[in-house]
Amino acid sequence: MKFSVLTLLITLVLITGWGRAIASDVFQTDTVTVEVKGTDADARFDPVVVAVNPGDVIEFIVREGLHTVTAYHPTNRRPKRIPDLAKPFDSGLMEQGDQWFLNIKEEGVYDYFCLPHEKMGHVGRVIAGSYDAAIDYPEEGMPNVVLQKLSTETEQFLNQ
């Protein structure tokens, strides 16, 4: 009887440890940091383009100035440029030292902007999942400086 209990105990420990190892590999999430920098003409997200997996978290840290992290979405009075199943987001106005976290749940491309500095090209892009995702968002209603910045930065990112 003791042999059976000991065998069972060892088996449970091995299975439990193995199960945790599998769970940590399957459900592992990463946190990517994007710094929000600058004031007025030099306002920027650094980096502009990030790649993550669905389930990952993006931490936005404001280094200087007043900024937002706002999704391109009709809720925010802009054209929709996030995945269909994704929820629109808006950090609200943040100041130096503030942090804001965005959990990326859906695969696809998320475009976002800083409300006070959008017309100066203060925009960013998240590529969640495959890099091969076609970016097929409307250009109507988008400032040219924004379209140019997203195009240039995405091309540089993909060619690294």
In a domain, 144, yes or no: yes
pLDDT of residue 29: 76
Number of domains in the chain: 1
pTM of this structure: 0.81
In a domain, 107, yes or no: yes
108-113 and 70-71 beta bridge pairing? antiparallel
CATH of the domain at 72: 2.60.40.420
How far apart CA 52 and CA 56 sit, in angstroms, is 6
In a domain, 46, yes or no: yes
Structural domain boundaries enclosing 129: 28-158
In a domain, 8, yes or no: no
- Going by C-alpha positions, the residue among 37, 57, 64, 63 that lies closest to residue 48 is 37
In a domain, 18, yes or no: no
In a domain, 15, yes or no: no
How would you write the pLDDT of the chain (160 residues) with one tens digit per residue? 555 544 544 444 444 444 444 443 455 779 999 999 998 889 999 999 999 999 999 999 999 999 999 999 999 999 999 999 999 999 999 999 999 999 999 999 999 999 999 999 999 999 999 877 667 888 998 999 999 999 999 999 999 8
